[in-house]
Structure 1
C-alpha cells in the first residue's frame, strides 16, 4: 500500500468483540466503512459494523470475500489463526502481520522475541512434558505456570510453590506446552501502547499503571503516579524496541513488571489495542483505536497527548448481580452524575461473572479530582478500589 486509503474505502476486521467494536467506531469517524468477520450473530463489533460477515475465521469463501472488499485488514484479538492472516496478507495489507501475531500467540516465542530485542523478562523455562517438570531448575520456584498458548485474563495459569505442585498443575492444564516463570516481588505493573506505521514512524500513549484482581485488569491510572520518570522513559523505549524488532505495523501493547528492587521486566505483549488503553478515548487527543485505524490506512500517526488525568475502571458482569445472585441493572444514572464520568458499555446481551461488559473512565482537571470521582463510582457500583486508596 503506497498511498493512504481514502475515506469511503472498506477496512476489514477479524473478530467481533469489544475491541473490534471500538475500532469500528474509530474507523467510521474517519469516514471508512468496516466489514467484520465473526461467527457470532450477535457480537459487539458485528452490531456496529457496516457489514457483518457471519462465518468462522478460517472459512475460505468468507476470507475471499473479505479480501475482495477490503483495502486493509486487521484483527481485534490475537487468537485468530496466524495462517488466516498470512493468507489474507498475500492479497491485502494486514496490520498486524501474521509473523508478529504468531509470536504473541506463543509465550515461548514471545520470550525469545524479548531476548532478540534486548528486553529483559522474568527467569523462565519451557516445559513440554512431565519429564521437563521433574528436571526443572528449583531456582524458578515458587513460580507461575502458564500455558504457552491461548491464555488471557488469568486463564491457563497456576501458581506453584514446589515441585509437587508444579507436576500437579502441569497435569491439570492438560499436559500442553507451558512456560514456568519465576515468581518475583512486584512493586507495580505498567503497560505501554505503541503504534507503528508502515514507514516506521512510532508514537506512544503515556505509560499506564495497572492493578489486577483475580488476574483481570481492574483499574488503570494515567499518569502513572509513583513511577520514576526515568523508569517510565525506559518502558517507552523498550516497547518501541519490541515493535521495531518486528517491523510491526499497528498498535502493540507491552505489559511490564516493576520489581521491588527497581528493575523493569517485560511480562507479555498483545498485538492489538488493549484493555489498559481504553481511557485514551476520553482522556487523550487521539485514542489507541484511532491510531490502529491510521496505521491500517497508511495515515500519519500523531503523538497522542494526555489532556486529562484519569482512572479507568473495568466493568465485569458481576455488577449485574446483587448479593443474593439476582440479576439487576447497575445504577448508571448515579454514575453518570459524577464529574468527568464516561461510560462505555459493549453491547453484550448476557452479563456473566468475570465477563468484560464495559469500562468507566473518570477524566478530570486534576489527578486528585479524578481519584475522588473514581472512588465515588466504586461506592455506587461496588467495585474494587485497587489503585485508588
Structure 2
C-alpha cells in the first residue's frame, strides 16, 4: 500500500528526497535538478557521492529519528536508491510524506523467500529452490537441487552472500561459512545468457519500460550491458517485459523497478531477482535513450506523466570497478583522455573519494548507429583500460 500523494504532480521547485547517497542517488539528484527540482539526501557518509551534489545532505543513519524527521521536513516526496534501506524507516517517512517505492514493496525485495513467493503468485517461473533455516531443512534438501547456489535470504547483492555448492558436504560447509543465517538453495541451471528489464510505474498505474537489456556478469558483478535491435530475440524480450509488468503490478509498485532473468540453454526464461530502484544495467539509458531510468524515477516520484523511452542509439555499457586504478600494480589514473577520443564514448564517474578493487567507480557507455560500431569501439576501450573483452 503506497502512501497518499498530496499535491501531485509536484511542480519543479519542490524538493525530492532520496534515502541513500551512493552513485544511484547521485544520478537521481542530477536528473531531478535538470528538471528544476531541489534535492535532499539522507546518508551517514559526509562525502557520499549524492550528498556532495545535493541541495541538502542530512548526514544521519537510516534509522536515526532526528535525521528522518529532518528529511521529511525538507523533502516533499522521498524515494530510495538501494534496496537495503530499512523498510521500517520508509514506513515512518510515509506517515509524513509520499514515499515511492513503498516499504512493503521494498521489504519483498529484501527477502529472497518473499521475493520468490511473489514471483510465483505472479505466474513468473524461478529456479527450483528450498529454504534453509534449520539443520532439519538442510538435511531434507532434495538431491535434485544439487549442484546449486546457496544464497543468504537477506542483504545479498553483487554476488555477496552466495556460494556455489556441488554436493551435500559442500552445502553444509557453505551454510556454516554463512553463519547459518536463513538461506535459499537454488538449483544451478544451464544458462545461455542473462537479461534484465527496467520498468517505471506511476501512482495512477501507468507503466513504461526500457528496451530489454542483455547482461554479462563477472564474479557476480555486472560487467557489460548491451541494448539494441537483435540483441535479445523479440519473443523472449516480450515475455520478459510481460513478466516484469506482472511483478510490478502485483506489488502495486510505484517507482522504477528492475527485474533480472536467466535465459536457459533450451530457450526458456526464469526470473532471478528484482531491485526496487534504478539498476546498473539501465545506465546506458542516460546516453542511448531520450528518457533515462533516473528521469523516470523523478517522474514517478513527482507524479509527472510517464513517456515511453525511445532508444535512439545502439548502446554498450562497461562497468568501471576500482580494479582499473590498480591495473599496473601501483595506483594510477586510468587513461581517460584516450578513451574519450573514441567516437560515441560517454564517461560517467561517480565522485567517490578513493578507488578499491570491486568498488563501482563509474561506467562507460558507447553509442553508435549499429551493433558492429558500438562493439568495435567498446572493445577498443577495453584494450586501452586493460578490461577483459567480451
Establish whether TM, by shorter chain, passes 0.5: yes
Worse-matched range after superposition: 220-229 or 266-275 = 220-229
Residue 120 of structure 2 corresponds to which residue in structure 1?
115
Structure 1 residue 372 corresponds to structure 2 residue 376: yes
In 2, Cα distance between the equivalents of 1:147 and 1:131? 17
Q: 1:362–1:373: 8 Å Cα contact kept in structure 2?
A: yes
TM-superposed CA distance for 1:227, in Å, is 2.8
Flag structure 2 segments of 5+ consecutive residues without an equivalent: none
- Among candidates 202, 209, 222, match of residue 207 of structure 2: 202
Residue 47 of structure 2 corresponds to which residue in structure 1?
42
Residue 72 of structure 1 corresponds to which residue in structure 2?
77
| RMSD, aligned α-carbons | 0.8
Instruction: Give me the TM-score of the superposition, normalised by structure 1.
Output: 0.98
Question: Hey, which bits of structure 1, 4+ residues long, moved more than 3 A?
Answer: none
Q: 1:209–1:224: 8 Å Cα contact kept in structure 2?
A: no
Structure 1 residue 148 corresponds to structure 2 residue 157: no
- Among candidates 353, 365, 381, match of residue 357 of structure 2: 353
- Among candidates 355, 362, 366, match of residue 366 of structure 2: 362
Structure 1 residue 161 corresponds to structure 2 residue 202: no
TM-superposed CA distance for 1:228, in Å, is 1.8
Residue 333 of structure 2 corresponds to which residue in structure 1?
329
Worse-matched range after superposition: 329-338 or 66-75 = 66-75
Q: 1:219–1:313: 8 Å Cα contact kept in structure 2?
A: yes
In 1, Cα distance between the equivalents of 2:8 and 2:40? 21
In 2, Cα distance between the equivalents of 1:334 and 1:189? 31
SS at match of 2:99: coil
In the TM superposition, 1:189-268 aligns within 5 A as 189-223=194-228, 225-268=230-273
Q: Residue by residue, what CA displacement relative to the aligned partner does 1:262-288 show, whole Å, maximum 9, x if unpaired?
A: 111000000000000000000001000
- Among candidates 340, 346, 370, match of residue 344 of structure 2: 340
Structure 1 residue 184 corresponds to structure 2 residue 189: yes
TM-superposed CA distance for 1:130, in Å, is 2.4
TM-superposed CA distance for 1:238, in Å, is 0.4
- Among candidates 17, 20, 24, match of residue 19 of structure 1: 24
Residue 294 of structure 1 corresponds to which residue in structure 2?
299
**Number of matched pairs:** 385
Q: Residue by residue, what CA displacement relative to the aligned partner does 1:266-316 show, whole Å, maximum 9, x if unpaired?
A: 000000000000000000010000000000000000000010001000000
Residue 130 of structure 1 corresponds to which residue in structure 2?
135
TM-superposed CA distance for 1:328, in Å, is 0.4
Instruction: Give me the TM-score of the superposition, normalised by structure 2.
Output: 0.98
TM-superposed CA distance for 1:322, in Å, is 3.2
SS at match of 2:154: coil
Residue 109 of structure 2 corresponds to which residue in structure 1?
104
Q: Residue by residue, what CA displacement relative to the aligned partner does 1:305-363 show, whole Å, maximum 9, x if unpaired?
A: 0100010000000000133x210000000000000000000001110001000000000
SS at match of 2:369: coil
